[in-house]
A = this chain, B = another copy of it.
């Protein structure tokens, strides 16, 4: 089986290296050699293990290639290339979550009767696409909770374990290469959202794009939130959450307060994990490296092996006919909330806040007032019982207008 590598960066090089180094076991497992024959690169590569070109057409027009592996990144260009390849009836493997978040259903249509692998697009080395699409196929998926972004998890872990400040840890993550120079894609939840949308297509057949769902990042989390979480038995994680209730599915990405006892709360550092609850299987969890050249290559090559074994079947998301799931509007999300307020330390303030809460049908589960940070302001922490997203947004809107509120209220959801 001849393979072309489109995009010859960290992952592309790792795929080529592993196909060559693990050649024997790969052949033993699929009965044939999987040979990387050419790579498309942005610049000339010295000492490349295989021939490299900068001319896309030179590769795309080759008739002897069985599978094209897209590892270019970006959305527009790879989408155009993959469309072209599928129209020529070529098999494709991609790790491109951003492109799939926007264009996966157009690709699904074109990929009919072809092999289209995207295991590497979610949670790196964890074979979560295969698990969800095939391993748990007997189940109605009740919910998915994923730590899908290693950078954010690294930052939150260090904030929690060492009491460090967000900016300080981010800087350190950048120095260690765990965070990009511009980290917003990772820390503002977009990367996790792309992955969540792909999982939601397999679990529910939901056709949403990032703009349809709730996405919040971790940059607003302070040491005080970490303090509260530790005191009350919580851990803070950036989660991608998918939940089904009847025919409605809620999809959301946000920092979340989780009980320390949950398995997914125990996932630290740059590691990824996905917890999946099914109506038959109960709770399950899948844990591993979410990024890195070789780890991602492990997923890419498993797709190639599946193709060589004749096992990678369409439809792409495992649904031969549509399910009747639709997206729950954001304002109808119904969950528990955490609120941090900085208020003037004056008589009557707490009473005003609790009155506003009850006007929005929000009932308090726990309350903590921290010893004063300075002379005139106090920090108040609340957790609520279940309430609607629209109620909490309303409350925050009202609170913001109050004179006794020092800084903008900070809210987090609780699972």
Contacts and interface: CB of A to CB of B under 8 A. Distances in A.
Contact of A302 (B31, B136, B282, B287): B136
Interface stretch (A251-259, A313-321, A349-357): A313-321
A311 B320 CA distance: 14
Interface stretch (A18-26, A68-76, A191-199, A362-370): A18-26
A2 interface: no
Nearest to A129: B135
Contact of A138 (B18, B139, B205, B292): B18
Nearest to A279: B22
A375 to B, nearest CB: 43
A131 B131 contact: yes
A305 B130 CA distance: 13
Interface string A291-331: 01011011011101110011101000011111100000000
Given A280-B18, A297-B280, A29 B320 contact: yes
Most chain B Cβ neighbours within 10 Å, of A131, A134, A287, A306: A134
B305 A280 contact: no
Given A28-B319, A288-B284, A22 B302 contact: no
Contact of A288 (B22, B137, B267, B283): B283
A298 B322 contact: no
Contacts of A281: 124-125, 288-289, 294-295, 298
Interface string A29-57: 11100000000000000000000000000
A286 interface: yes
B125 A284 contact: yes
Interface string A106-141: 000000000000010000111100110011111110
Given A130-B130, A130-B134, A283-B288, A139 B298 contact: yes
Interface residues of A, number: 61
B321 A298 contact: no
A111 to B, nearest CB: 15
Contacts of A14: 280
A31 B138 contact: no
Contact of A321 (B22, B27, B322): B27
A162 to B, nearest CB: 16
Given A22-B139, A294-B280, A313 B310 contact: yes
Interface secondary structure of A, over-half rule: mixed
Given A280-B22, A320-B31, A321-B31, A127 B134 contact: yes
A263 interface: yes
A390 interface: no
A267 B305 CA distance: 32
Given A30-B320, A319-B29, A323-B28, A137 B313 contact: no
Nearest to A123: B284
Interface string A261-295: 00100110000000000111111111111001011
Contacts of A26: 137-138
A130 B135 contact: yes
Given A131-B127, A280-B18, A138 B301 contact: yes
Interface of A: 14, 18, 22, 25-31, 119, 124-127, 130-131, 134-140, 205, 263, 266-267, 278-289, 292, 294-295, 297-298, 300-302, 304-306, 309-311, 313, 318-323
Given A31-B320, A119-B135, 11 more contacts: A18-B138, A22-B140, A25-B139, A28-B321, A29-B318, A29-B320, A125-B284, A137-B301, A137-B305, A138-B300, A281-B289
